[in-house]
Amino acid sequence: MIYPFRLFIFLILSALVFLSGAFPWPFLGFGLAVLLYLMFILESPLPRALWVGGAIGVLFDAYSALPFGTHLAIFAGLAFFGFAAKWFLSRRYFWGDTVFIGGGIVLGILALAAASWFAAGRETASLIYLLPRVFAAAVFLALVSAAFSWLGYRRQNPHGEFYVV
């Protein structure tokens, strides 16, 4: 279990690093913030998740060239997605968390790509440019989220070997 305050600090730091332009691939930088936000949702109640998502969404909206409120709507939608997934998964386990975080990353990145595509005038060339980058970022971050989930769920047996609950 990772404490929500630590996740909040890492979420803010990842958002600021993304906004500073340190990530050469925007979908990967945005996806990292989405990954940490989804991990924060797993440990927090809905009102706290909505407040933090709203703050991060407004921070991204202040920087982005997309219409104001786009990132806010994405993070609010992810908060409701997380609340519904937590309600559906009454007991947390490794594969449930991994699928939830991986699916949330795909939803968040696809929502950002769709907003970017509409802002670019729905040109086919922009869609051809966006799809491989969206797919690569989603696959990479899904693997990273599986690794984070595995680290959170691994236990040590009496013989010193690790296993996942």
Domains of the chain listed by start with CATH number? 4-164 (1.10.1760)
Q: Mean pLDDT throughout 34-41?
A: 86
Q: State the chain's mean pLDDT as an integer.
A: 79
Checking if the pLDDT of 1 tops 60, the result is no
Surface-to-core class of residue 90, CB atoms within 10 Å of its CB (0-12 exposed, 13-18 middle, 19+ buried): exposed
pTM of the model: 0.78
With bands split at pLDDT 50, 70 and 90, how would you rate the model's confidence at 77? very high
Q: What pLDDT, in 10s, does the model give residues 98-134?
A: 888 888 888 888 888 888 778 777 776 667 777 887 7
pLDDT at 76: 92
7 residue type, one letter: L
**Percent of the chain residues topping a pLDDT of 90:** 5
Separation between Cα atoms, residue 97 and residue 46, nearest integer Å: 17
**Percent of the chain residues topping a pLDDT of 70:** 81
Checking if the pLDDT of 165 tops 80, the result is no
The closest of 6, 28, 50, 16 to 139, measured between CA atoms, is 28
